[in-house]
Amino acid sequence: MTSKVQVFILIWFGQLISLIGSGLTSFALGIWVYQRTGSVTQFTLISLFTTLPHILISPLAGALVDRWNRRWAMLLSDSGAGISTLVIALLLLAGRLEVWHIYLVIATSSAFKAFQWPAYAAATTQLVPKKHLGRASGMVQAAEAAAELLSPVLAGGLVVTIQLQGVIFIDVATFVFSLVTLLFVRFPEAKITLEGKEGTGSLWREAIYGWIYITAQPGLFGLLIFFAGSNFLTGVVSVLVTPLVLAFTSVAMLGTLLSFAGSGMLVGSLVMSIWGGVKRPIYAVLSFSLLGGLCILLAGLRPSVPVFFFTGFLYFFTVPIINGSSQVIWQTKVAPDVQGRVFAVRRMIVWSSLPLAYLVAGPLADHFFEPLLAIDGPLAGSIGRLLGVGPGHGIALLFVVMGVLTVLATVAGYMYPPLRLVEDELPDALADSVPTTDEV
């Protein structure tokens, strides 16, 4: 058992390094596009192309992950994403990089990454004992938090010293590092369950089996819909953080703010890693989602740098606890040998709300909310007296709306019994498996 945990830790470390590298490129490219175009809409399209291909290919990727060795699925994912990033660097060196190139290459990388997450999550279930899954989820969240914390500050300094292409080459190197860690480990073979036998067949049947599995469990389906709705609301907010903050301060302060907010995620991840979560993870999901909604609401009501620091830290503190608690529910309630398919469909549905959020966020900000709170806007004399008027205040009003809707969605989730009682109504799936070969 100890050796399996050591394998997980080694994989986790490789992914941590890769996430930091990807964060460097993401931050630097986002600033490059926004400063080059001055368009919130074109800036948000980066997020759209980061998620849409991932969503579309997820069911197929999940079915293949359950068929393949999950280590090789992760190797494929990291290799494809690394090569895609290298293409951006080469275009930049040749002086040929355009905004549409970034969209195309990011979309390609997104398609490869569709294989990584279900393979990683399913492998974690195989490598980590059930009682420590909460801590493992906390570690995964901590890796993401480290990227959120370190990447903006590092990228801001590195862009000045080694320029954008240097930052991208560092990202490529981090992909190579993660590949090396995967080459030196072996994963346990997935164990056979009755659910896994029922879900076998053609590739198409296996691709849709994840949806059939989830919809047959009202509690899991309710959790899925709750996160899809929440993701839409927070997606609108997340993609507009940069334009909102830049309306009140400088790019340098933006990097500092994002890093400080990322430290909140790191603290929350460490808390989750040490604590392991509550005995009823669904309560953590709902209560911390409510707190996150209140943070969004406060950031919109009082848009200023001190408030952004406070709400950003607190909001990001809730994220690993929400996600880690949700992950424990899925890992313990879903049969291990179908987790690739189920987790892929789960991510597809949850993330499907993000492209819609990214598509509407820019136009809503540029053409509706910002004009409402312009100096002579329709709401300048009413809501403008509370929130203020001028650039950025319309986006702040949009934050208020999203915060209120997040609070209402959380209350509705608690009022839905199958979601609130998901841990009581569904038995654990991990103890029902039949051992096969140990490692591949």
Q: What is the pLDDT along the chain (440 residues), one digit of tens a residue?
A: 447 778 888 888 888 888 888 878 877 777 777 777 777 677 778 777 877 887 888 878 877 877 777 788 888 888 888 888 888 878 887 777 778 888 888 888 888 888 887 888 777 877 877 777 778 877 887 787 777 677 776 776 776 677 677 778 888 888 888 888 888 877 766 666 555 555 566 677 777 888 888 888 889 999 999 999 999 998 888 888 888 888 887 777 787 887 788 788 888 888 888 877 677 889 999 999 999 999 999 988 888 888 889 999 999 899 889 988 898 898 888 877 788 888 888 888 887 887 788 788 888 888 888 787 778 777 777 777 777 777 778 888 889 999 999 999 999 999 999 999 888 877 777 553 433 434 44
Give the DSSP letter of residue 432: G
* Other beta carbons within 10 Å of 201: 11
CA–CA gap between residue 392 and residue 139 (Å, rounded): 36
Q: Would you say residue 418 lies in a domain?
A: yes
3-state secondary structure 384-406: HHHHCCCCCHHHHHHHHHHHHHH
Q: Would you say residue 435 lies in a domain?
A: no
**Sole residue written with tokens 């997340």:** 238
pLDDT in tens, 323-370: 888 988 988 888 777 888 888 888 888 878 877 887 888 888 888 887
Phi-psi region of 131 (alpha: psi -120 to 50; beta: other; left: phi over 0): alpha
CATH number at residue 359: 1.20.1250.20
CA–CA gap between residue 427 and residue 351 (Å, rounded): 27
Contact 132/276 with Cβ under 8 angstroms?
Answer: yes
Q: Where are the alpha helices (DSSP H) in 68-193?
A: 70-93, 99-113, 116-127, 133-183
Contact 211/333 with Cβ under 8 angstroms?
Answer: no
Task: Note down the domain range covering 74.
Answer: 2-430
Contact 338/210 with Cβ under 8 angstroms?
Answer: yes
Q: Which helix (H) or strand (E) holds 339?
A: helix 339-364
Beta bridge partners of 192: 434
Q: Would you say residue 90 lies in a domain?
A: yes
Q: Would you say residue 291 lies in a domain?
A: yes
Q: What is the pTM of this model?
A: 0.72
Q: Would you say residue 256 lies in a domain?
A: yes
pLDDT in tens, 260-302: 887 888 888 888 888 776 778 899 999 999 999 999 999 888 8
Apex 417 CA angle, 416 and 422, nearest 5: 115
* Other beta carbons within 10 Å of 120: 20
Phi-psi region of 128 (alpha: psi -120 to 50; beta: other; left: phi over 0): beta
C-alpha closest to that of 339 among 349, 327, 350: 327
Beta bridge partners of 434: 192
Q: Which helix (H) or strand (E) holds 257?
A: helix 251-275
What amino acid occupies position 198?
E
Q: Would you say residue 49 lies in a domain?
A: yes
- Buried-state track 301-338, b at ≥16 Cβ within 10 A, e below 16: bbbeeebbbbbbbbbbbbbbbbbbbbbbbbbbbbbbbb
* Other beta carbons within 10 Å of 381: 10
Q: Would you say residue 436 lies in a domain?
A: no
CA–CA gap between residue 37 and residue 250 (Å, rounded): 17
Q: Would you say residue 437 lies in a domain?
A: no
C-alpha closest to that of 125 among 324, 339, 273: 339
Q: Total structural domains in the chain?
A: 1
